[in-house]
Amino acid sequence: MLAVLYGRVLRVDPKRPDWPSRDRFILSKGHAGCAVYAVLAERGFFPVEKLLTHHQDGSDLCGHISHRGIPGVEVSTGSLGHGLSIGAGRAYAGKLEGAAHRVVVLLSDGECDEGSTWEAVLFAAHHKLDSLVAIVDYNKIQSLAPVAETLALEPFAEKWRSFGWAVREADGHDHEALAEALSAIPFAEGKPSCLIAHTVKGKGVSFIVANLQRLFELRVESGLSTCFRRRGLILFKLKQRRCHFGRVVPKLHVVRIRIWNILANFIFGIGLIQVRTRYVKIVSIGAGFSYGALGVSHHATEDISILRALPNITVVSPCDLWEVAEAARALVERPGPAVLRLDKSSARPTVQPGEQFELGRARTIRDGFDMTLVATGSILEEVFQAAEVLDAEGISCRVLSMHTVKPLDVDSLERAAKETGGIITVEEHTVEGGLGGAVAENLLERGVHPRCFLRIGLRSGFSSTVGAQVYLRKVYRMDARSIAEAVRARVPRIASYEAMVGALAGR
């Protein structure tokens, strides 16, 4: 499909990727980004050699397609269900401006489970956006099960027609059939066009087609998520059918509209209503930079900030497998909504013989008096390594695992502020509203002022770099070496401060 689009249909110019009259192509199924990169390279948008950096540390070719620094890519995608809304907005903006370009959106069949997709379908038909083309890669398989078992779409073509679209169907592997259909867009004047392309996943690669079901079985990967298998905790059925629901207002993607109104709670809260108002227990996997190489669409670096603002919620981000298992048991018994935030790393065990786990109570992993290092999640491994290095240099650090971010253990923090030289928080998350913000807010409200305070985490802006979790920690200076450097830089200040206080007291 991409070969036909870029070879025979789309009006694009590799020498002028921002040409105003170009057709806009949006890959809504962002996980197929590598295929788009390959086509763009073949068309001359960037050197073919660049493809060898795909998914590698330091590359800008994310696992999920990104427009950052990549000529020819219109928008970054990855989380399913957004592409058609963006496309509808682009087409509507073009209509308002009297532009002649077309907008082509390639969707997966699985993301047709998304409510936001059908809102865009309605929006496009209502505004008679005949410059908009939706191509559905109808391979009839989703990541966990066949589409028909997950959420049946048939009669698929009739659904699109009933929403006011002109629809055609074609063999998605037949170049001539695709070219013939796409050369006829719009299929009907005043109607958006939908081409349902029937495909076979893995077509042309025999061992993939023959073993498709096995290849798409859900595997529990190594890391913190393995505790559910190792410990036998069954909080939910990993193989249960799943579907995603969300709401995206297509009008928000219209380029010309810069001022709009909407009920305040609907800006971001509509997707959180079921968490705010119901006693749900959520297990999130992939925290922080777990999916680092996939790009910013899969970096979970703002979730703690958002979750902290919800009333009556418990937010737990364990540092190792033992904490995961203990927290899971405790959250099942705890009333109210809760989120168990896991990443995919494999941190060393930190449990001490006879130790008891308690939600809302920090664990002292090691004691010290020069500085307190407070961490949440598996990045505590980096903190622990830094503390060991510093201890060999004569700098003693207390290390706290703040597994429960909400409610926060303020008593342990107050003791640390009074008994040690200062507090440094470390999180694989933005510092704005995350662990560091929570610690600062609660200590100041108690009138406690640490002699030194620093937040280590992701500063303003999204990560713009591709790489593995360990690599990105180094890039954003939240690895063991950077943490140790931050402590060293502040311990002398504390000593100077104490000397000054002592001198003033002696006068």
The confidence band for 236, taking pLDDT boundaries of 50, 70 and 90, is very low
pLDDT digit string (tens) for 309-321? Answer: 988 899 999 999 9
Ramachandran area for residue 102 (φ above 0: left; ψ -120 to 50: alpha; else beta): beta
d(CA 87, CA 89): 5
**Main-chain phi, psi angles of 268, to 5 degrees:** -125, -20
Tell me: pLDDT of 259 over 70: no
pLDDT at residue 453, rounded to an integer: 97
Is the pLDDT higher at 250 or at 171?
171
pLDDT 10s digits, 65-115: 888 789 999 988 877 878 999 999 999 999 999 999 999 999 999 999 988
Which CATH superfamily does the domain covering 2-215 fall into?
Thiamin diphosphate (ThDP)-binding fold, Pyr/PP domains (3.40.50.970)
Specify the range with the lowest mean pLDDT, choosing from 187-191, 241-245, 268-272, 311-315. Answer: 241-245
pLDDT per residue as tens digits for the range 481-500: 999 999 999 986 655 545 54
Q: Are 62 and 466 in contact (CB under 8 A)?
A: yes
CA distance 61 to 478: 23
Query: What pLDDT, on the 0 to 100 scale, is given for residue 264?
Result: 63
Q: Amino acid identity of 254? A: V
Q: What was the pLDDT predicted at 292?
A: 84
CA distance 244 to 449: 45
Q: pLDDT digit string (tens) for 287-304?
A: 989 888 887 778 888 999
Its pTM surpasses 0.75: no
Token pair of 404 as six digits = 């429960």
- Residue 154 CB-half CA count within 13 A: 6
For 3-108, list the strands marked E by DSSP: 24-27, 103-108
Overall average pLDDT of the 190-194 stretch: 97
Q: Phi, psi at residue 452, to the nearest 5°?
A: -145, 140
Find out if CATH 3.40.50.920 is the number for domain 363-506.
Answer: yes
CA distance 346 to 344: 7
Could you tell me if 456 and 474 are in contact, meaning their C-beta atoms sit under 8 angstroms apart?
A: no
The C-alpha angle with vertex 149 and arms to 143 and 154, in degrees rounded to 5, equals: 110
The pLDDT confidence band at residue 59, using thresholds 50, 70 and 90, is confident
DSSP string, 392-407: HTT--EEEEE--EEES
**Residue 187 tokens, joined:** 């299929």
- Band the pLDDT of 234: cuts 50, 70, 90: very low
Q: Which of 138-147, 218-227, 283-292, 321-330 has the lowest mean pLDDT?
A: 218-227
Specify the pLDDT at position 250: 38
Element (H, E) at 150: helix 147-151
Segment 231-258 mean pLDDT: 34
Per-residue model confidence (pLDDT) at position 486: 96
Does residue 169 carry a pLDDT above 50?
yes
Nearest of 163, 161, 149 to residue 196 by alpha carbon: 161
Confidence at residue 253, expressed as pLDDT on a 0 to 100 scale: 41
Could you read off the pLDDT of 423-451 as tens digits, one per residue? 999 999 999 999 999 999 999 999 999 99
Name which residue leads in pLDDT, 257 or 246.
Answer: 257
Amino acid, single-letter form, for residue 136:
V
- Could you give the percent of the chain with pLDDT greater than 70? 83
Q: Which distant-in-sequence residues (6+ apart) come within 8 Å of 248 by Cβ?
A: 81, 82, 85, 116, 119, 120
* DSSP secondary structure letter of residue 44: T
Is the pLDDT assigned to residue 218 strictly greater than 60?
A: no
Domains 2-215 and 363-506 share a fold: yes
Q: What per-residue confidence (pLDDT) applies to 223? A: 44
pLDDT at position 248: 34
pLDDT in tens, 355-391: 999 999 999 999 999 999 999 999 999 999 999 999 9
| C-alpha radius of gyration, the chain, whole number | 26
The edge-to-edge listing of strands for the beta sheet with 24-27 is 24-27, 103-108, 132-138, 193-198, 166-171
Least confident among 244-253, 266-275, 307-316: 244-253
**The pLDDT of residue 225:** 43
**What's the mean pLDDT when you consider all of the chain?**
84
* DSSP 8-state code for residue 7: I
> Which residue bears the tokens 């073919």?
48
Counted residue by residue, the chain has a size of: 507
| Cβ-based burial of 4 (10 A; exposed 0-12, middle 13-18, buried ≥19) | buried
10 Å CB burial of residue 507 (0-12, 13-18, 19+) is: exposed
The residue ranges of every structural domain in the chain are 2-215, 224-342, 363-506
